[in-house]
Amino acid sequence: MSKQSRQFQVPDALANLYDFANTLDLRHFTHHGVPHQRHDELAGAADLAAWMAQRKLLAAGAKVTPALFEIALGLRASLRDYLQHDPAERRNKGAARALNAAIAAFPLHAELGGEAGARLHAVRDDALAGLSVLAAELYDGARNGSLDRLKMCAAEECRRVFFDRSKPATRRWCMSILCGNRIKTRAYRERQRGVD
Ligand SMILES: [Zn+2]
C-alpha cells in the first residue's frame, strides 16, 4: 500500500497490483499549463529492489539480477495489457493469455492454519518471491469481482490504472474532471470544426 493507493482509496487487497501497474507512468498531457512527463519508476533492477523493499516484499540480502528484473518487467507489461481490457473482455481467455503465462512464473502454495485460517506462500525463493503477492491479489480480486474495478484510463495520453469506485462501475477515466473533460472538450471542438 502506498500514499497513492490510499489517496485514491484503492482497497488494500489490490494495492500492490495498483502500485505495480502504475510504476509506469505514461501520462503526457498538460495540466494547468504544466506538461506531465512520462516516467518509469522501475528504470533498473535497483529501482525494483527499492520498490519491493518499500513494501516489505524483498527478503533481506536478496539481489535483483538483470535477468530477474526482465521477468518483473514482463509481468508488468502483461498486467497493464490485461487491465486495458474492459471487464467483459477479460472473461475471454485470449485477453488473459499473456498475463497467465507471466504469473505462471510466480506459483503459490496454500498452507492451512494460523490466525487467518490459511495463507498463500510464494514457491519462488529468489529475489522476486515477493512479487508472487501480485498473483495472489489477481486471484482473489478475480474471484470476488473487485479486480473488475481496477481499470486503465481510456485517455490515450493518460493510461493510468485506477480503481473505479462508482456504483455502476462504468467509469472509463481515472479522473472525469481531468481525462474525461479533456476528451469531451476535444470531441466537442472536433464536432464544431466539422460544422464550419
Ligand atoms: Zn486518466
Q: Where are the domains of the chain?
A: 3-150
pLDDT in tens, 127-182: 999 999 999 999 999 999 999 999 999 999 999 999 999 999 999 999 877 788 77
Fold of 3-150: Jann2411-like fold (1.10.3300)
Determine the Cα–Cα distance for residues 87 and 16; give it in Å rounded to an integer: 19
Residue 193 above 60 pLDDT?
A: yes
Tell me the CA–centroid distance for residue 135 and ligand 1, in Å: 25
Q: How confident is the model at residue 187 (pLDDT cuts 50, 70, 90)?
A: confident
Tell me the CA–centroid distance for residue 189 and ligand 1, in Å: 20
DSSP code of residue 188: H
Tell me the CA–centroid distance for residue 136 and ligand 1, in Å: 26
Nearest residue to 16 via CA among 113, 155, 139: 139
Quick check: 161 and 172 in contact, CB under 8 A? no
pLDDT in tens, 41-91: 999 999 999 999 999 999 999 999 999 999 999 999 999 999 999 999 998
pTM above 0.85, yes or no: yes
